[in-house]
Amino acid sequence: MLSDYRLILYHKHPSSGRTLFLYVNETICQFEGLSSAAHVLESHIGDNQIQEKMPLLDALLADARQRLELFQDSLMVDREFNAWVDDSGKPLQIYLARFTSIDPPQERLARQGGTFLSLIEARRFLPPTELELLRLAYTTIMDDLS
């Protein structure tokens, strides 16, 4: 069931490395967000379980592309990152996906109320659990540069 999963969508510029996260519907956890009671239970990078989840992840990406009116190859799952969140007794898995375009599709997503935020901008107003998830995601993304 897709409601048991969330995606953190981001864009990393290929030459500058500038990383921006999609913020839409008042959350960075697409598409239903998290409640204020949510907290991170654990996270994994490189645990080799992502291959087993590819049909699910393909479905999540297809759903995201449809909701955001994006092109077929505009998103891809990034590495082997996932996190588990307890949201009022409901376990949710969080995955990381990136926009594949050279520049973030800001204009396209602005029409749907979306904006792209840096980690520093997100610190101003995101709830603690979403900030923790962004820090984990950012660490994964930056590790990919080394």
pLDDT tens readout for residues 98-124 = 999 988 889 889 988 999 999 999 999
Is residue 85's pLDDT more than 90? yes
Is residue 143's pLDDT more than 60? yes
What's 125's DSSP letter? T
Residue 34's pLDDT is 94
Q: How far apart are CA 59 and CA 23, in angstroms?
A: 21
pTM: 0.90
What's 4's DSSP letter? G
Phi and psi at 29, nearest 5°, equal: -100, 95
pLDDT tens readout for residues 16-69 = 889 999 999 999 999 999 999 999 998 877 655 555 677 788 899 999 999 999
Quick one: pLDDT band at residue 8, thresholds 50, 70, 90?
A: very high
Signed CA dihedral, 14, 7, 76, 140: sign only: positive
- Return the H-helix or E-strand segment holding 6: strand 5-12
Q: How far apart are CA 84 and CA 54, in angstroms?
A: 17
Is residue 130's pLDDT more than 60? yes
Place of tokens 């949201």: 87
What's 48's DSSP letter? S
User: Which domains occur in the chain, in start order?
Assistant: 2-143 (3.90.79)
Amino acid at 146: S
Concatenate the DSSP letters of all residues of 19-39 into one string. EEEEEBTTBSSBTT---TT-E
Residue 91's pLDDT is 93
Residues in the chain, overall count: 146
Residue 51's pLDDT is 58
